[in-house]
Structure 1
Amino acid sequence: MITAALFALFFLFILLSVPVGVAIGAATLLVMELMPGTPPSSLLIKNAIVGADNFPLVAVPMFILAGEIMLAGGLSSRIVGMAAVLVGRVDAGLAYVNVLASMFFAAISGSSPATVAAIGSNLIPEMEKHGYRRDFSAALTSASGMLGVMIPPSIPLIIYGVVTNVSLGALFIAGILPGVLFGVSFMVVARIIAKRNMLPLQHGEETIRYANSNDRAKGGIWALLVPIIILGGIYGGIFTPTEAAGVAVVYALFVSLFVYKEISLVQLPDILIRSGRTTATIMVMVAMAFAFGRFLTIEGVPSDLATLITNATTEPIAVLLLLNLVLLITGMFLEPVAAIIILAPILLPVARSVGVDPIHFGIIMTCNLAIGFCTPPVGINLFVASSIAKVPVEDIIRKILPFMIGMLISMAIVSFFPEISLLFI
C-alpha cells in the first residue's frame, strides 16, 4: 500500500508537469508524513544530503561546463565540418555527417538534448538546402542525438557508477562500441530511406560541396582531441574520471579562448550561469532520487521485485527481456538520471542473479533509457529538433519510426552479446 501510494503520487506530480526532481521529493515527503508505519520525514533530508555528498558526482558539473564552453567556442560547427570532410565521398553524405557529427559531439557533451541542439542547428537547415525534407532531418537528428548519453563521457553512466559502486573508467570504455553500433545502425537506416525516397544520393556531391565550403573544418581536430585526452588519460591511469572532467574544462577553456578565439573572458559568467542551471536541475534530481531509492529499499521493494521476476522465470534470456521491457517503458516517462538512481539498486541484483555483469548491465540500462529521448510522451530530443526544424512533433515521430527499429535491433545485440560492451575491459 505504501509503495503504491508513493508511485501514484509521483506519477500524479509528473502528469501535473511538476519538475522530476521536485516530484520525487514531494511524493516521498508526503508518504512519510501522512502514512503510518513509514520512517520519519527527516530521513528524506538525511538521505538526500548523503546521496549528493559523493566525490565522483563532481564530474557531472565539470563535464557540463566543458560542453558549454566548447559549444560557445565554436565547437559544433567545426565538428560538423570535420565530419563532412571524413564522409564527403559517401552517398547520402549529409545524413552520414549528421550521425558522425553527433557521435563526435557526444564524446564531449555527455548530454542528448545538447547534442541535438548543437548538431541540429548547424545541419538541419543545411540538409534542407540540399534536398532533404525537414521532418526527415529532424528525425535523424533526434535519433543520433541519443548517442549523447551513450558514448562517454556520459552523465547517466557517471550516475550509474556512483549508485552501484562500479568503476566509472570501465563504464566509459564499455560504452564506446555500443554507441558506435547505434550510430552505424542510424547510417544504414538513413541510407535505405534516402534510396527509397529519392533523397540526395548522387555520389555524395552535396556533402563534398559543403565540406569544401566549410573552412572551419580545419580546426576540428582540436575538438576531436577532447575524447582522446579524456579516455586516453583514464584508460592509461593518468587521471580518474572525476579528474578527467576537470582536465576537460581546462582544455575547453584553452581551445576556446586561445585557439578558436570565439569567446572572451567577458562571456564566461554567462557560460557559468547556464552550466550552473543545468547542474542544479540534475543535482536536485540526484539528491531526491537517492532519498526515494533509499525509501524503496527500506520498504523491501528491490527484494520483492527480484522474487517476483525469478518466480516468473529463471531463464536468463527471459529475465533479460523483461528487464529490457521495464527499462524501455520507464525511459518513456522518466529522465535517465532519475530512472537510474531509482531502478539500478532494484534491478541490478536481478540481473546479477542470471549472470549479467554489472558493467554490461549499466550499458543496457543507459541504452534503453536513452531511447526514451526519442519516444513520447517525454521525448526531449523530439521537442528540441521540432523547435529547430520548425516542424510539428507528430511529423518527426512518424519519420523516426524506422530509426526506432534500428535502435531496438541494436539494443538486442548489445543485450545478448556482452562481448560488445566488455571487449576492452
Structure 2
Amino acid sequence: MIWVFLGSFLLTMLLGVPVAFCLALSSMIFLIISGDIPLHLIPQRMFTGMDSFPLMAVPFFILAGDLMNSAGITERIVRFSTALVGHIRGGLAHVNIVASMFFAGISGSAVADTAALGSILIPAMEKDGYSKSFAAAVTASSSIIGPIIPPSIPVVIYALVGSVSVGALFLSGVIPGILIGLGLMAVAYVISRKYDYGTKRPVASVREFLAACWGALIPLIMPLIILGGILSGIFTPTEAASVAAGYAVIVGLLVLRTLKLSDLPSIFYRAMLTTSTIFLVMACANVFTWILGTEMIPQKIASAITSISQNPYVLLLLINLVLFIVGCFLEGIAAIIIMVPILLPIAQHAGIDPVHFGIIVVMNLMIGLITPPLGLCLFVCCSVSNVDFVDLVKAIFPFLLIEIVTLFVVTYVPGVALFVPRMFGY
C-alpha cells in the first residue's frame, strides 16, 4: 500500500500537478485504500500543519519584501552595486551578483530576486555586449543567495520543523551566502575575460560612491533592524517580521514617497497569494508526513542510510545526495517539511549540529531551484529573458558547479556556518 501512496505522488508530480495537490491527492488515495482511517483526518492534519504562531513571520516577511521592491529599492541597490564593483572586468555580471547579495537581506526569496533583478539587469547586460544566456545564468544562479542570507522564509520553516533557533539559523547563513557570491563573481570574471564581455567602466568617484551609498542606506537598514532586534531580544522573529513590514510601509509612503496608498491593495493581494501558496503546501505536506510517520518510513530511510556507514562524513555525503535529488524535483518548502523530520535525527545521532545541518539543507534545496529538470528559478529566468531553456542550462553549469563546491565546503567545515552564531553566543 505504501508503494501506491508514493507512486501516486511521483505520478502526479510527473504530470505537472502543483506540488500541494500532489501531496493532498496521494494522501487521500492512501487513506481511501487503507479503509480504517477516517477522511476527516485530512482537514484536521492540514489545520495542525498551519496552527503555529511562529509561522506568522512568513506572510510578514513576504509583505515586507514586496513593499520594499514596489518602493523602487531595486534600482537603488543596483546603483550602489555598480559603484562598488561595476569597474571590475565583467562589471554588470558582478553588479548582478552583488545586488542579489544585498537584495537577499530584503526579500528572502530566490524567485523574487530573479524576477526583480532579472527584469532590470538582463536587458542591460545584453545591451552591454553580454550573451543573453550568460546574463540569465548569472541572474538565476545568484538569486539562490536570497534564502541563505537573512531574512529567509525557508530558514523560518526549518526552524519550526526542526525546533531550532531562528536567530542562530539566520546568522549561520551570512558567511555561506557571501562565499557563494564571491565564488560566482570569480566564475563571472573568468568567463567575461574569455569572451570579452562588458564595457570597461571607470572606478566610481568618491562623490558618486557616497551618493550611491546614501541612496541604498534606507533599504539596507531593514536587515539590520531584523537581526538586531532578534539578537538583542527586543522582539521575536515573528515580531521582527511585522516590524520589517511596518518599516517598509513607512519608507515607501513617507520617506522615499515612491509608494501610494492606492498601490497597497495590489501589494497586499500579491503577498496574500504567495502566503496562501506556501501555507497550502505546508498544510498538505503535514498530512503527507503524518502518513510517512505512521508507516515508519523515516525509520526505514534512516536505517538504510546508517547501514551504509556510521561515519559522519559519509552520512553527510549521503544526506547531501538525497537532498540534491529531492531538490531537483520538489519545491524547497515542501522538501523541508517532508525531509527534515527524516534526516535531522540521523544528523543529530551522528553528532552534527542542527544549526549547521539547517544551513546545509537550505543551501542544498536552494541549489535545486537552478537545477534541471524542475528548477523554478530557471523557468522564471526563461520567462523574464526569453532565453531557451537548454541554452540557459548550458550557461548556468559553471555557476552551478561552484555553488556545489561551496555547499561541500560548508558541509565539511562546520565553522563556516557556525562562526557567526557562536560569536553571538548561540
Q: Equivalent residue for 1:22?
A: 21
Which amino acid letter does the alignment assign opposite residue 397 of structure 1? V
Which amino acid letter does the alignment assign opposite residue 323 of structure 1? I
Q: Distance in 1 between matches of 2:229 and 2:214?
A: 25
Q: Equivalent residue for 1:373?
A: 369
Q: Deviations over 1:249-270 (max 9, x none)?
A: 0110011111221111111111
Q: Deviations over 1:315-373 (max 9, x none)?
A: 21111100000000100000100000000000001111211111111111100000111
Which amino acid letter does the alignment assign opposite residue 314 of structure 1? Q
Q: Equivalent residue for 1:304?
A: 300
Which amino acid letter does the alignment assign opposite residue 285 of structure 1? V
Q: Equivalent residue for 1:278?
A: 274
Q: Distance in 2 between matches of 1:421 and 1:104?
A: 19
Which amino acid letter does the alignment assign opposite residue 138 of structure 1? A
Q: Distance in 2 between matches of 1:330 and 1:75?
A: 34
The one of 306, 318, 321 aligned to 2:314: 318
Q: Deviations over 1:374-409 (max 9, x none)?
A: 011211111111122221111111100000110111
Change (3 A) 1:408 1:292: same
Which amino acid letter does the alignment assign opposite residue 189 of structure 1? V
Which amino acid letter does the alignment assign opposite residue 29 of structure 1? M
Please show how residues 116-127 of structure 1 align to structure 2 within 5 Å: 116-127=114-125
Q: Distance in 1 between matches of 2:210 and 2:140?
A: 23
CA deviation after TM superposition for structure 1 residue 35, in Å: 2.8
Please show how residues 32-43 of structure 1 align to structure 2 within 5 Å: 32-36=31-35, 39-43=37-41
Q: Which runs of 5+ in 2 are unaligned?
A: 422-426
Matching of residue 399 in structure 1 with residue 398 in structure 2: no
Matching of residue 131 in structure 1 with residue 129 in structure 2: yes
Q: Which runs of 5+ in 1 are unaligned?
A: none
Q: Equivalent residue for 1:149?
A: 147
CA deviation after TM superposition for structure 1 residue 213, in Å: 12
Q: Equivalent residue for 1:332?
A: 328
Q: Distance in 2 between matches of 1:380 and 1:327?
A: 16
The one of 30, 44, 57 aligned to 1:46: 44
Which amino acid letter does the alignment assign opposite residue 44 of structure 1? I
Q: More deviation in 322-331 or 41-50? A: 41-50
Same amino acid, percent of matched pairs: 44
Change (3 A) 1:386 1:20: same
Q: Distance in 2 between matches of 1:194 and 1:113?
A: 25
Matching of residue 11 in structure 1 with residue 10 in structure 2: yes
Q: Equivalent residue for 1:420?
A: 416
> Could you state the TM-score of these two structures normalised by the residue count of structure 1?
0.95
Does the residue aligned with 1:391 lie in a helix, a strand or coil?
coil
Task: Assess if the C-alpha contact under 8 Å between 1:81 and 1:214 holds in 2.
Answer: no
Task: Assess if the C-alpha contact under 8 Å between 1:77 and 1:216 holds in 2.
Answer: no
Q: Distance in 1 between matches of 2:399 and 2:379?
A: 17
Q: Distance in 1 between matches of 2:287 and 2:159?
A: 17
Which amino acid letter does the alignment assign opposite residue 155 of structure 1? I
Task: Assess if the C-alpha contact under 8 Å between 1:78 and 1:218 holds in 2.
Answer: no
Task: Assess if the C-alpha contact under 8 Å between 2:129 and 2:199 holds in 1.
Answer: no
Q: Deviations over 1:194-234 (max 9, x none)?
A: 111121273x44x859x969977742111111111111111
Task: Assess if the C-alpha contact under 8 Å between 1:367 and 1:411 holds in 2.
Answer: yes
Q: More deviation in 233-242 or 214-223? A: 214-223
Matching of residue 60 in structure 1 with residue 49 in structure 2: no
**Alignment length (residue pairs):** 420
Q: Equivalent residue for 1:238?
A: 234
Q: Distance in 1 between matches of 2:78 and 2:345?
A: 42
Which amino acid letter does the alignment assign opposite residue 321 of structure 1? L
Please show how residues 206-225 of structure 1 align to structure 2 within 5 Å: 218-225=214-221
Please show how residues 63-102 of structure 1 align to structure 2 within 5 Å: 63-102=61-100
Q: More deviation in 367-376 or 85-94? A: 85-94
Q: Distance in 1 between matches of 2:121 and 2:214?
A: 18
Q: More deviation in 293-302 or 324-333? A: 293-302
Task: Assess if the C-alpha contact under 8 Å between 1:81 and 1:215 holds in 2.
Answer: no
Matching of residue 364 in structure 1 with residue 363 in structure 2: no
Q: Distance in 2 between matches of 1:8 and 1:389?
A: 36
Q: Distance in 2 between matches of 1:173 and 1:294?
A: 31
CA deviation after TM superposition for structure 1 residue 247, in Å: 0.6
Q: Distance in 2 between matches of 1:375 and 1:43?
A: 35
Does the residue aligned with 1:157 lie in a helix, a strand or coil?
helix
Q: Equivalent residue for 1:390?
A: 386
Matching of residue 186 in structure 1 with residue 184 in structure 2: yes
